[in-house]
Amino acid sequence: MTRHAGLVTVGEFSRLTHLTVKTLHHYDDVGLLDPADVDPVTGYRYYALDQVASAQLIRRLRAVRMPVPQVRAVLGAPDATVREGLIAAHLDQLRRELADTAAAVANLQLLLTGGAVAPSVTTRDIPDLPGVVATGRVGRDLIGAWCAQVYPRLYALAGRLGGVAGPAGALYGDGWFEDARGEVTAFVPLTGAAEPAPAPDGVPRAAVVRGGRYAVALHSGPFDDIDRTYAALGSQVTAGAHGRIGAAGPIREIYLVSPDDTPDPAGIRTEVCWPLLTAPATDP
């Protein structure tokens, strides 16, 4: 018999679910929603009516932009608790994206209304600082999560090693800006020196943070528009207003008032330190 009992064709399933035929093909290809039966000779797909429920869930999860692999995980969840956990996690993610978008809109409007004040730039010699540091190769999209993990550990270690001597900071080198990922070194300065020790990536250790001469600008507000401060600072350095230019190591940020220190994003204070080539010692 050619009639498949209780099964419907793609076109029919499309009308039942409001998923297009092309979408159903795609979900078959990626194994998200396999037809109940596929005719081995014609390749015709046949769907069971009880697959409509899965299709409805898929459609709704995709409508809230859950990535296909996560949707697959939801469908394959062993029980309702796991399933609800996955969905709740994604809805949290959505809320974060919504907050990010709202912040980006505010950021845009700040630029358009000219509310942006050009920061003043000064030159500063920063000495070598004993501290606790953690290093990692991090992507720009993960830097927030990375910092949230690393700084508490750094502060904990600093407490055990004699106390915190000043604001935390970080060094961004090696393609951090050019590639949106690179080597990041987070640090917290120590009161008094500790024995420097090696440690693997991401694990806090005692070390000396190299100093040098920097052009420095203070950034007020959230990190979203810290590019304005970088632009003002870097433009001045590039224009030659602060002596010799050129690659002189990583850019340093110093977190005078971090997001953890203030409930108001406008209260955040960050010093951006752009390295300057110091005159060689042999220069007369």
Partner DNA sequence: TTGCTCCTCACGTCACGTGAGGTGGC
List of residues contacting a second copy (CB under 8 A)? 6, 8, 10-12, 14-18, 20-22, 49, 52, 56-57, 59-61, 63-65, 84, 87, 91, 94, 98, 101, 104-105, 107-108, 111-112, 177-180, 224-228, 230-231, 234-235, 238-239, 251
Q: How far is the CB of 83 from a second copy (least distance, A)?
A: 9
User: Which residue number, 152 or 175, has a Cβ lying nearer to a second copy?
Assistant: 175
Spatial separation of the C-alpha atoms in residues 271 and 45, rounded to whole Å: 61
User: Which residue number, 70 or 191, has a Cβ lying nearer to a second copy?
Assistant: 70
Q: How far is the CB of 147 from a second copy (least distance, A)?
A: 17
**Residue 115 binding target from a second copy, DNA, none, CB below 5 to 8 Å by type:** none
**Residue 228 binding target from DNA, a second copy, none, CB below 5 to 8 Å by type:** a second copy
Q: Are 129 and 206 in contact (CB under 8 A)?
A: no
**Residue 57 binding target from a second copy, DNA, none, CB below 5 to 8 Å by type:** a second copy
**Residue 224 binding target from DNA, a second copy, none, CB below 5 to 8 Å by type:** a second copy
User: Which residue number, 27 or 255, has a Cβ lying nearer to DNA?
Assistant: 27
Which spans of this chain sit near DNA (rule: CB under 7 A)?
2-3, 9-12, 20-23, 25-27, 39, 41-45, 62, 67-69, 139, 178-181, 247
Spatial separation of the C-alpha atoms in residues 131 and 220, rounded to whole Å: 25
User: Which residue number, 26 or 83, has a Cβ lying nearer to DNA?
Assistant: 26
Q: How far is the CB of 266 from DNA (least distance, A)?
A: 27
User: Which residue number, 64 or 88, has a Cβ lying nearer to DNA?
Assistant: 64
How wide is the angle at C-alpha 244 spanned by C-alphas 240 and 248, nearest 5°? 115
Q: Cα-atom radius of gyration of the chain, to the nearest Å?
A: 27
DSSP state of 33: S
Spatial separation of the C-alpha atoms in residues 267 and 236, rounded to whole Å: 25
Instruction: Compute the Cα dihedral for 217, 173, 224, 145 and give only its sign.
Output: negative
**Residue 61 binding target from a second copy, DNA, none, CB below 5 to 8 Å by type:** a second copy
User: Which residue number, 16 or 164, has a Cβ lying nearer to a second copy?
Assistant: 16
E strand or H helix at 14, and its extent?
helix 10-17
What is the b/e burial string over 102-118, where b = at least 16 CB atoms within 10 angstroms of the residue's CB?
A: eeeeebeeeeeeeebee
In angstroms, the Cα distances linking 167 to 6, 57, 240 are: 69, 49, 29
Q: How far is the CB of 30 from DNA (least distance, A)?
A: 7
How wide is the angle at C-alpha 100 spanned by C-alphas 95 and 101, nearest 5°? 95
